[in-house]
Structure 1
Amino acid sequence: MEVEKPYRIKKNSDFQMIYRKGKSVANRQFVIYMMPDKGLTHFKLGISVSKKLGNAVTRNRIKRAIRENFKVHKNDILPRNIIVIARHPAKNMTTLEIQKSLEHVLKIAKLFNKRIK
Protein backbone atom coordinates (compact mmCIF):
# COMPACT_ATOMS: atom_id res chain seq x y z
CA MET A 1 0.00 0.00 0.00
CA GLU A 2 1.21 3.50 -0.69
CA VAL A 3 0.66 7.02 0.59
CA GLU A 4 -3.01 7.80 -0.14
CA LYS A 5 -4.15 10.33 -2.72
CA PRO A 6 -4.96 13.20 -0.31
CA TYR A 7 -1.33 12.95 0.85
CA ARG A 8 0.10 13.60 -2.64
CA ILE A 9 1.30 16.73 -4.39
CA LYS A 10 0.76 16.21 -8.11
CA LYS A 11 0.40 19.55 -9.88
CA ASN A 12 3.45 21.22 -11.38
CA SER A 13 2.16 24.60 -10.14
CA ASP A 14 2.12 23.27 -6.55
CA PHE A 15 5.69 21.98 -6.94
CA GLN A 16 6.84 25.34 -8.33
CA MET A 17 5.19 27.29 -5.50
CA ILE A 18 6.83 25.10 -2.84
CA TYR A 19 10.22 25.42 -4.57
CA ARG A 20 9.85 29.22 -4.62
CA LYS A 21 8.37 29.88 -1.18
CA GLY A 22 9.43 26.85 0.85
CA LYS A 23 12.52 26.23 2.94
CA SER A 24 14.99 23.53 1.95
CA VAL A 25 17.16 21.14 3.91
CA ALA A 26 19.51 18.54 2.47
CA ASN A 27 21.91 15.72 3.16
CA ARG A 28 24.01 13.87 0.57
CA GLN A 29 21.16 11.70 -0.72
CA PHE A 30 18.04 13.90 -0.51
CA VAL A 31 16.85 17.49 -0.64
CA ILE A 32 13.62 18.32 1.18
CA TYR A 33 11.56 21.40 0.44
CA MET A 34 8.86 22.18 2.99
CA MET A 35 6.19 24.81 3.28
CA PRO A 36 3.51 25.24 5.94
CA ASP A 37 -0.09 25.31 4.75
CA LYS A 38 -2.90 26.68 6.91
CA GLY A 39 -5.60 24.21 5.89
CA LEU A 40 -3.56 21.01 6.23
CA THR A 41 -4.40 18.38 8.85
CA HIS A 42 -1.68 16.04 7.53
CA PHE A 43 1.44 16.31 5.39
CA LYS A 44 1.33 16.30 1.59
CA LEU A 45 4.19 14.63 -0.23
CA GLY A 46 5.70 15.28 -3.65
CA ILE A 47 8.57 13.15 -4.94
CA SER A 48 11.04 14.11 -7.65
CA VAL A 49 13.53 11.60 -9.06
CA SER A 50 15.47 12.82 -12.09
CA LYS A 51 15.99 10.69 -15.18
CA LYS A 52 19.71 11.21 -14.59
CA LEU A 53 19.43 8.77 -11.68
CA GLY A 54 18.67 5.81 -13.92
CA ASN A 55 16.00 3.98 -15.85
CA ALA A 56 12.32 3.78 -14.86
CA VAL A 57 12.88 0.68 -12.73
CA THR A 58 15.54 2.42 -10.63
CA ARG A 59 13.55 5.64 -10.29
CA ASN A 60 10.38 3.80 -9.27
CA ARG A 61 12.30 1.74 -6.70
CA ILE A 62 13.58 4.96 -5.11
CA LYS A 63 10.09 6.50 -5.14
CA ARG A 64 8.55 3.38 -3.56
CA ALA A 65 11.17 3.43 -0.80
CA ILE A 66 10.48 7.13 -0.11
CA ARG A 67 6.70 6.57 0.00
CA GLU A 68 7.16 3.55 2.28
CA ASN A 69 9.20 5.65 4.72
CA PHE A 70 6.52 8.34 4.85
CA LYS A 71 3.86 5.68 5.35
CA VAL A 72 5.79 4.25 8.31
CA HIS A 73 6.03 7.73 9.89
CA LYS A 74 2.58 8.89 8.76
CA ASN A 75 1.49 9.93 12.27
CA ASP A 76 4.85 11.43 13.27
CA ILE A 77 5.26 14.04 10.52
CA LEU A 78 4.02 17.60 10.90
CA PRO A 79 1.29 18.85 8.53
CA ARG A 80 3.38 20.53 5.83
CA ASN A 81 3.75 20.44 2.09
CA ILE A 82 6.90 18.36 1.57
CA ILE A 83 8.85 17.68 -1.61
CA VAL A 84 11.60 15.07 -1.58
CA ILE A 85 14.21 15.24 -4.32
CA ALA A 86 16.50 12.24 -4.70
CA ARG A 87 20.17 12.95 -5.37
CA HIS A 88 22.63 10.73 -7.19
CA PRO A 89 23.91 8.66 -4.20
CA ALA A 90 20.33 7.42 -3.59
CA LYS A 91 20.60 5.38 -6.79
CA ASN A 92 22.70 2.61 -5.22
CA MET A 93 21.04 2.51 -1.81
CA THR A 94 18.87 -0.24 -0.38
CA THR A 95 15.37 0.54 0.89
CA LEU A 96 16.67 0.44 4.47
CA GLU A 97 19.51 2.86 3.68
CA ILE A 98 17.05 5.20 1.97
CA GLN A 99 14.83 5.07 5.07
CA LYS A 100 17.75 5.91 7.41
CA SER A 101 18.88 8.77 5.19
CA LEU A 102 15.35 10.19 4.90
CA GLU A 103 14.84 9.99 8.66
CA HIS A 104 18.13 11.86 9.07
CA VAL A 105 17.13 14.69 6.74
CA LEU A 106 13.60 14.86 8.23
CA LYS A 107 15.15 15.29 11.69
CA ILE A 108 17.37 18.09 10.40
CA ALA A 109 14.26 19.71 8.91
CA LYS A 110 12.46 19.31 12.26
CA LEU A 111 9.46 17.73 10.54
CA PHE A 112 8.81 15.13 13.22
CA ASN A 113 6.19 16.14 15.76
CA LYS A 114 7.76 13.99 18.46
CA ARG A 115 11.15 12.50 19.22
CA ILE A 116 11.98 9.67 16.84
CA LYS A 117 14.89 7.46 17.89
Structure 2
Amino acid sequence: MKALTFPKSNRLLKPSDYSKVFDDVQLKVPHRNFLILAAPNTLGHARVGLIFSKKNLRHAVQRNRIKRQVRETFRLQPDLPALDIIVLGRQGLNHLENPDVRSSLNDIWRRVKKKYRQVIADQPDDNARSTE
Protein backbone atom coordinates (compact mmCIF):
# COMPACT_ATOMS: atom_id res chain seq x y z
CA MET A 1 0.00 0.00 0.00
CA LYS A 2 1.29 3.45 -0.90
CA ALA A 3 2.11 5.73 2.01
CA LEU A 4 -0.37 8.57 2.38
CA THR A 5 2.14 11.38 2.68
CA PHE A 6 2.68 14.86 1.35
CA PRO A 7 6.47 15.10 0.91
CA LYS A 8 8.46 18.30 0.54
CA SER A 9 9.11 17.40 -3.10
CA ASN A 10 5.39 18.08 -3.79
CA ARG A 11 5.43 21.58 -2.26
CA LEU A 12 6.62 24.98 -3.36
CA LEU A 13 8.98 25.84 -0.50
CA LYS A 14 11.06 28.89 -1.41
CA PRO A 15 10.04 32.39 -2.44
CA SER A 16 11.93 31.82 -5.71
CA ASP A 17 9.60 28.88 -6.48
CA TYR A 18 6.58 31.16 -6.07
CA SER A 19 8.25 33.93 -8.10
CA LYS A 20 8.82 31.59 -11.04
CA VAL A 21 5.10 30.86 -11.19
CA PHE A 22 4.02 34.49 -10.77
CA ASP A 23 6.51 35.63 -13.42
CA ASP A 24 5.57 32.96 -15.97
CA VAL A 25 1.88 32.11 -15.50
CA GLN A 26 0.86 29.84 -18.36
CA LEU A 27 -2.31 28.42 -16.87
CA LYS A 28 -4.94 30.39 -15.01
CA VAL A 29 -8.03 28.66 -13.65
CA PRO A 30 -10.48 31.03 -11.96
CA HIS A 31 -13.20 29.88 -9.57
CA ARG A 32 -15.61 31.70 -7.29
CA ASN A 33 -13.57 30.85 -4.17
CA PHE A 34 -10.11 30.04 -5.56
CA LEU A 35 -7.67 31.20 -8.21
CA ILE A 36 -5.16 28.72 -9.62
CA LEU A 37 -1.96 29.96 -11.26
CA ALA A 38 0.40 27.43 -12.80
CA ALA A 39 3.62 27.19 -14.75
CA PRO A 40 5.36 24.08 -16.13
CA ASN A 41 8.29 22.59 -14.24
CA THR A 42 10.99 20.12 -15.25
CA LEU A 43 10.58 17.80 -12.26
CA GLY A 44 8.14 15.36 -13.84
CA HIS A 45 5.50 15.85 -11.13
CA ALA A 46 3.24 18.61 -9.85
CA ARG A 47 4.01 20.82 -6.85
CA VAL A 48 1.60 23.05 -4.98
CA GLY A 49 1.92 26.29 -3.05
CA LEU A 50 -0.80 27.86 -0.93
CA ILE A 51 -1.64 31.51 -0.37
CA PHE A 52 -4.54 32.37 1.94
CA SER A 53 -4.67 35.88 3.36
CA LYS A 54 -6.05 37.07 6.67
CA LYS A 55 -8.20 39.48 4.71
CA ASN A 56 -10.20 36.60 3.18
CA LEU A 57 -9.97 34.09 6.04
CA ARG A 58 -9.79 35.98 9.34
CA HIS A 59 -8.94 33.18 11.74
CA ALA A 60 -5.98 30.80 11.60
CA VAL A 61 -8.38 27.91 12.17
CA GLN A 62 -10.18 28.78 8.93
CA ARG A 63 -6.97 29.17 6.94
CA ASN A 64 -5.58 25.89 8.25
CA ARG A 65 -8.83 24.02 7.50
CA ILE A 66 -8.83 25.19 3.88
CA LYS A 67 -5.11 24.44 3.48
CA ARG A 68 -5.69 20.90 4.75
CA GLN A 69 -8.47 20.42 2.21
CA VAL A 70 -6.30 21.73 -0.65
CA ARG A 71 -3.35 19.52 0.32
CA GLU A 72 -5.54 16.43 0.67
CA THR A 73 -7.32 16.87 -2.67
CA PHE A 74 -3.97 17.64 -4.37
CA ARG A 75 -2.41 14.51 -2.88
CA LEU A 76 -5.25 12.40 -4.27
CA GLN A 77 -4.60 13.63 -7.85
CA PRO A 78 -1.95 11.23 -9.18
CA ASP A 79 -2.35 12.30 -12.82
CA LEU A 80 -1.68 16.03 -12.53
CA PRO A 81 0.82 17.24 -15.15
CA ALA A 82 4.29 18.53 -14.23
CA LEU A 83 3.24 21.99 -13.07
CA ASP A 84 4.09 24.32 -10.24
CA ILE A 85 0.66 25.34 -8.97
CA ILE A 86 -0.27 28.20 -6.66
CA VAL A 87 -3.71 28.11 -5.02
CA LEU A 88 -4.97 31.53 -3.92
CA GLY A 89 -8.01 31.90 -1.69
CA ARG A 90 -10.74 34.40 -2.43
CA GLN A 91 -13.42 35.93 -0.25
CA GLY A 92 -16.29 33.73 0.85
CA LEU A 93 -14.20 30.65 1.63
CA ASN A 94 -14.97 30.90 5.33
CA HIS A 95 -18.66 30.26 4.64
CA LEU A 96 -18.06 26.93 2.85
CA GLU A 97 -18.37 23.59 4.61
CA ASN A 98 -15.68 20.92 4.06
CA PRO A 99 -17.68 18.83 1.51
CA ASP A 100 -18.29 21.97 -0.57
CA VAL A 101 -14.60 22.89 -0.44
CA ARG A 102 -13.61 19.37 -1.51
CA SER A 103 -16.05 19.28 -4.41
CA SER A 104 -14.89 22.73 -5.59
CA LEU A 105 -11.26 21.65 -5.43
CA ASN A 106 -11.90 18.38 -7.27
CA ASP A 107 -13.63 20.39 -10.00
CA ILE A 108 -10.66 22.78 -10.11
CA TRP A 109 -8.11 19.95 -10.46
CA ARG A 110 -10.18 18.51 -13.31
CA ARG A 111 -10.22 21.93 -15.00
CA VAL A 112 -6.43 22.32 -14.53
CA LYS A 113 -5.84 19.00 -16.33
CA LYS A 114 -8.22 19.94 -19.13
CA LYS A 115 -6.73 23.40 -19.59
CA TYR A 116 -3.20 21.96 -19.56
CA ARG A 117 -4.13 19.58 -22.39
CA GLN A 118 -5.54 22.54 -24.36
CA VAL A 119 -2.44 24.67 -23.80
CA ILE A 120 -0.10 21.83 -24.81
CA ALA A 121 -2.18 21.12 -27.93
CA ASP A 122 -2.01 24.81 -28.93
CA GLN A 123 1.78 25.06 -28.63
CA PRO A 124 3.93 24.23 -31.68
CA ASP A 125 5.94 21.06 -31.32
CA ASP A 126 9.49 22.45 -31.07
CA ASN A 127 10.90 19.19 -29.70
CA ALA A 128 10.09 17.27 -32.89
CA ARG A 129 12.02 19.77 -35.01
CA SER A 130 15.00 20.08 -32.67
CA THR A 131 15.64 16.32 -32.61
CA GLU A 132 15.89 16.06 -36.38
Q: Is the 8 A contact 1:29 1:87 kept in 2?
A: yes
The aligned counterpart of 2:80 is 77
The aligned counterpart of 1:102 is 105
| Structure with greater Cα Rg | 2
The AA in structure 1 aligned to 2:80 is I
The aligned counterpart of 1:5 is 8
Superposed CA deviations along residues 94-115 of structure 1, whole A, max 9, x for unmatched, are 22211111122222233699xx
SS state of the match for residue 35, structure 2? Answer: strand
In structure 1, list runs of 5 or more residues that go unmatched: none
The aligned counterpart of 1:64 is 68
SS state of the match for residue 14, structure 1? Answer: helix
Deviation at 1:55, TM superposition (A): 1.2
Number of equivalences: 112
SS state of the match for residue 37, structure 2? Answer: strand
In structure 2, list runs of 5 or more residues that go unmatched: 117-132
Q: Is the 8 A contact 2:80 2:113 kept in 1?
A: no
Superposed CA deviations along residues 60-86 of structure 1, whole A, max 9, x for unmatched, are 11101110111122x121121111111
The AA in structure 2 aligned to 1:61 is R
SS state of the match for residue 54, structure 1? Answer: coil
* Coordinate RMSD, CA, aligned: 2.1
Structure 2 length normalisation: TM-score?
0.75
Structure 1 length normalisation: TM-score?
0.84
